[in-house]
Structure 1
């Protein structure tokens, strides 16, 4: 291949994202290796016979590179055209899981094809992102109208609902990250404030006695009425609004939250939330989180050194190559290494946002923001899980945790975005 052909092949690629992608995959392979390697292991034999997770992850990385190459050689118009078809395909896969899926570690969300297992819930994130980008970029879509907002919400909530039926609540929650994309496209900020307020109310109801909360809400309402008495005299509707908020908050913490935690959520889900809040004293229920924090804390400032982590080498932390992969990084490389690692992810997120804002088409911009939102959600929840700030809900660390479905999905998400960005001179709505 001559130099002109090579230049044409790589023309338009965003090299910072390309480099950050490979850096994170490499870190993931090294971390999985550190989590599984034991003295005396025959590394080459493990790789050739796929006997260890790091060997299988290396294989999945090879498959991901093939997929990335195919995507890079595909015309970007293909992705704008296939949004609805991809979404329908994803929904069919999710429904197929309900019919013939297999249980793995308490989750009925896996399909087995040719001896390989994969989670359609991972792939459907890509499908939903394409469908949402296609809908919001349609000339017929006026996102200022309630109908358009409801349709956009349905696009992301329908797969989430099906995934919840598969007992895979963690991945279902990822789909709520798409509301950040909708906010960028004009969704009122008050809706995000309301959603955040709802989270605060739930946490308050779990941490504080409901009768005390009722007294607090009543006192705050009385103070608001007192200080706004002049405005209330001029406009009586203000009083009705204030009392409505008081009634809603009181009913929510006294009746709605208890109903959800006793009738809707399953016992293991409630226990995970109680572990996060420090209300669960059962050593078995808190074991994963405690061992995870011990591993990270034992790394100190600079870490114990690569392949020298005792928590890792003696298998104290379960699922250390998947959900708790960050423990390995924290123990081996310490606080400094963890900060650098998180900094690489933040650099990737900021670069994706930069790429999103320079797009000429609505489709490409929405899609890129979807990629950033998904990665941000996975990153924040996974790390918070490992340090006890979020319940353990099985969210992998993008490009780093072991898992073929996850690695291939994030590879396709990123390289479709790179392909769209490379062709941004072609103005598409």
Structure 2
């Protein structure tokens, strides 16, 4: 059920008896810029750790414990070119708690979102410094993972230097030096008053009760400009390549392709099946031929990003095998483009994708994630997903494979 709480503020209630917990997702959405991702991530960290009523992380944790161990946390994410700050909450439903726990959790959410620890137009100094340091440590630790590091370097090759897609949704360490307890306050006020807001409630709830309680959150009307999540870029005239040497035992060869297949467009399901055959499932050509038969990779996978038209391949290899692996990956793609795969392989991949889709309904966060995409893109509910996957033909797979264009090659090598 859908309710408009204010202009630009929507409530989506999904009543179900499937879960014993009630789940709430509140998203603040705005176009990402080159400068706002780090600030919004730090802001999310500040909001989830202190408020005026609960000025320390310990005080906030004690209040959550009183609410039968409720969870409330904040983070960031991205949908194509759109940046989202997300508040998630989960707690036992009122029938099990035997009290109006929903109202108490919404009261705490009200405190977190609308009463942050701001005095004299600045965030609390010690809290700000702790959270800025923690975020710096978190981002630095992510890049210590060489698989993650190699993927980020591939993204820097694939996306032009002037695009926001170069900047990850969680931000950059370098941006933290420009953020202060004072200049983060306008970021907060801009988010709370101007961002598009979508609120999702999933659980064994009465929609009218949810509307009444959520309606107490003091969101004001806001003007929402047209938001375009999809990112498209022209082809590079030549493949972008980079080799980097570090003392790593396992080399990383990552490849980036342009594949203009977008979320729920006419090629979307064919794109999912193609990716499953290429490297997205255990039945794929990369897994079977590169990893298993040729024994040239510790792992070899592909991933389709349907908001940016990006297809990425990640492999862990021996440095000396880089060219052989690259050639063998190219051969798998060529085979798919001419239909060189069996009906049995196609059916295995289709069954795998359908099973993944059905299993995803067992997790509340997956359901909420799909509902968020549906709301942002103004799409009708997905129907007959299994039938659409099964309707993909070998000719569809080959047609999509022929659309793939190599754009970037990154090798993190342990040898010079």
Q: TM-score, normalised by structure 2?
A: 0.25
Question: Which fold has the larger relative contact order, with Cα–Cα distance below 8 Å and residues 6 or more apart in sequence?
Answer: 1
Question: Whose helix fraction is larger, Structure 1's or Structure 2's?
Answer: 1
Q: TM-score, normalised by structure 1?
A: 0.25
